[in-house]
Structure 1
Amino acid sequence: MEKTIAVIRGDGIGPEIVNEAIKVLNRIAAKYGHTFRYVEVDMGGAAIDKWGEPLPAAMLERCLAADSVLLGAVGGPKWDGLPGDQRPEKGLLALRAGMGLYANNRPAKLWPQLAAASPLKPEIVQQGIDFVVVRELIGGVYFGSHTTSQENGEAKATDVMSYSEHEVERIGRIAFETARKRRKKVASVDKANVLDTSRLWRRVMHRLAEEYPDVAYSDVLVDNAAMQIVKDPSQFDVLVTENMFGDILSDEASMITGSIGMIPSSSLGEGSRGLYEPIHGSAPDIAGQDKANPIGTILSAAMLLKYSFDLDAEAAAIEAAVGAALDAGLRTGDMLAPGCKPVRCSEMGSAIADFL
């Protein structure tokens, strides 16, 4: 197989963790006889410094011309003083919109080797943590109009949250199809007791549920969902929700798994092209020090192989190699535990590549 991967190294630790993911991808290519070509793309703070904007049109075109996109991380305090529409994160929003990526799938899986690192009680952890948050990505309040005006001598800010029926339906189908490949349970998260958008969301989801009689369906209010994720995460298989709720709940879900550095994600739309990235930030405090955990990015590369290229065996090989590295007691600083061997970012990437 010959594929082109657009690579966005980004800011902070982004270049370091992407280097390790590429190291693993190159080992996969050599082992299985594939050819992966990499096209460099500037986005975020790096693009602002070089081009004066977070996502130049030419960079978006490179992503659209590639077979898929691998991203490190964007943002940092260096650019915090910029106007909102010029900040690094706007590049990410523009990329998602430009690629038509409306579904963010974020696994929340506790690796057994890291069970002791979970902040939850052992009796809760023993029940297992393995669910997916399916988040609608290009609608809702993040993409609505935002205005600030003066009324009666004071500032008033308004952010508009809106959803149309087709936006809810397409993300709902992603959730049900994902559940069919897992444990066949979908929990739809909304705030239907307050919000009109949630009431529309719930009506569409109920209609979809009738098309998937083999999938158990339930409604969960977002505040209850936040509580249940820490009280009994084993009850969940696939959680589907709108943009802002998903942003919050997926971060909560990632923290109960022991290390945010372990969690990959995929952003998908129509067709096979996707955007794959770890969920953590750019960690500018440790940038350039070879201290970052590259596993989230390496597992994101595994998701890329599986979902965009249909290379299931290769993706499974990467996951097995990560498990072997953890079994060997190798740990970066964010997940170091007594009796384990501390390794640097580059050492962890090399070890996983070697286990392949």
Structure 2
Amino acid sequence: MKIAIFAGDGIGPEIMAQALRVLDALRLPGAVYLEGDVGGIAYKRHGHPLPEETLINARGSDAVLFGAVGDPECDNLERHLRPEQAILGLRSQLGLFANLRPATMFAGLEDMSSLKPEIARQIDLLIVRELNGDVYFGEKGTRTRDDGQREGWDMMSYAEDEVRRIAHTAFRAAQGRQKRLTSVDKANVLETSQLWRDVVVETAADYPDVALDHMYVDNAAMQLVRDPGRFDVIVTGNLFGDILSDQASMCVGSIGLLASASLGERQTAHGTFGMYEPIHGTAPDIAGQGKANPMAMILSAAMMLRHSFGRGEDAARIEAAVASALAAGVHGADLGGRASTQEIGDAVLERL
């Protein structure tokens, strides 16, 4: 079981340490960790946010466990040298096109949500976000118009094979849940979205057991706070998925609770190769202070065990331990509590 460990910047090393404590407690047979630098720390040490040796370790692993990247000291670098390029580069180089972001309301945390408790407790959904297309990877630049004003531009595009493969991923995910899939687009305005919708409808013919509906992204954002219980699985493009998944995190109380998996088509001896990370950032304002909530990182490790190593029982044990710790009031500052990073890790380990 070769696991690439990329802690990254800010609070990344702190939360990664707690996730590794949990994995070590499971005594995984044959587990080997391949460590590497990514992000700002990689730029400072190697001159690039995604060094070749890090990429080699990623390609030689069965799964990647990723912390977070981002460093204010690197904000003025050329775009291709900024820390965030590490995550985009890994997704592209490793063929990771499907991002799975579950959002579930943990019992006892309803009052922490931005929503009314009776609405918040309905949340149990999965956002499937396409990762390799859209404006994030399209051509972009700046130019000067005839009137002398500067103009920035970004190209949004999707090829039908890109849409079809993410649609298959979402339909299969829905088959394992409540068999309901909502495709989110902006087909009333964007040609890219019209193609998206057409291909999703074509793909639906292979999944007659899944109920499919469509929703414009602005309405989807509204329904996430109005009636989140209506959603089971949401599939959408890179830009819309980025925004909606962060919105969903506040609906469940804290971005410090949401894990994610980025999957591709490569299969390993145990499951699907993937990269697993919390959806939050590096939180440089609290880095090194022991205030970070490691639960999203720990839950990302659970997703890794389930999808890349076929160890669903171990994943369920970790998830139950996190839920139990939360129900017992072990809350970090993000949830209005005082538990430190180490204390949260201790509480999860005790219940594990």
TM-score, structure 1 normalization: 0.95
CA distance in 2, matches of 1:306, 1:267: 13
* C-alpha separation in 1, matches of 2:159 and 2:327: 47
Unaligned runs of 5+ in 2: none
Counterpart in the other structure of 1:42: 37
**Match 2:126 to one of 109, 128, 132:** 132
The C-alpha deviation readout for 1:52-76, integer Å capped at 9, x for no partner, is 1110122111101011000111002
In the alignment, structure 1 residue 267 sits paired with structure 2 residue 266: no
Q: Residue deviations 1:272-307, cap 9 Å, x none?
A: 110000011000000001110000000000000000
Aligned residues of 1:71 and 1:275 also touching (Cα < 8 A):
yes
Please state how far the C-alpha of 1:135 moved relative to its aligned partner: 0.3
Number of residues of Structure 1 aligned to a counterpart in Structure 2? 346
Residue of structure 2 equivalent to 1:70? 65
- Give unmatched runs, 5+ long, in structure 1: none
Read off the aligned partner of 1:351 and give its amino acid letter. A
Give distance in 2, aligned partners of 1:157 and 1:331. 43
Aligned-pair CA distance for 1:123: 2.9
Q: Deviations over 1:252-285 (max 9, x none)?
A: 1111001110100000001211000001100000
Matched residues in 1 for 2:104 and 2:323: separation?
Answer: 13
Distance between the aligned counterparts of 1:184 and 1:88, measured in 2? 38
Q: 2:9 aligns with which of 5, 8, 11?
A: 11
- Pick from 187, 190, 211 the counterpart of residue 206 of structure 2: 211
Is residue 51 of structure 2 the alignment partner of residue 53 of structure 1?
no
Secondary structure in structure 1 of the residue aligned to 2:289: coil
Q: Please report the TM-score for the alignment, with normalisation by the length of structure 2.
A: 0.97
1:133 Cα deviation after fit: 0.6
Alignment of 1:124-163 (within 5 A): 124-126=119-121, 128-152=122-146, 153-163=148-158
> Is 1:101 paired with 2:107?
no
The answer to whether the 8 A contact 2:107-2:327 is kept is no
Native 8 Å contact 2:36 2:53 kept in 1: no
Corresponding residue SS for 2:109: helix
Q: Which residue is equivalent to 1:334?
A: 334
Q: How far apart are the structure 2 equivalents of 1:251 and 1:150?
A: 34
Q: Does the CA contact (< 8 Å) of 1:23 and 1:350 recur in 2?
A: no
* Alpha-carbon distance in structure 2 between the residues aligned to 1:297 and 1:123: 28
**RMSD, matched Cα:** 1.0
The equivalent residue for 2:159 is 164
Q: 2:251 aligns with which of 234, 252, 256?
A: 256
Determine if contact 1:73/1:280 at 8 Å carries over to the other structure.
yes
Q: Choose 76-85 or 98-107, whichever is displaced more.
A: 76-85
Give the CA deviation at 1:214.
Answer: 0.5
Task: Tell me, yes or no, if structure 1 residue 317 matches structure 2 residue 317.
Answer: yes
Match of 1:110 in 2: 105
| Deviation for aligned residue 1:237 | 0.3
Structure 1 residue 35: Cα displacement: 3.0
Secondary structure at the counterpart of residue 70 of structure 1:
strand
2:292–2:332 contact (8 Å) kept in structure 1: yes
Q: Deviation at 1:85?
A: 1.4
**2:196 maps to what in 1?**
201
CA distance in 1, matches of 2:187, 2:38: 37
Task: Identify the residue that residue 178 of structure 2 maps to in structure 1.
Answer: 183
Aligned sequence identity (%): 52
Partner amino acid, structure 2, of 1:347:
E
Amino acid aligned to 2:236: T
Moved more, 344-353 or 293-302: 344-353
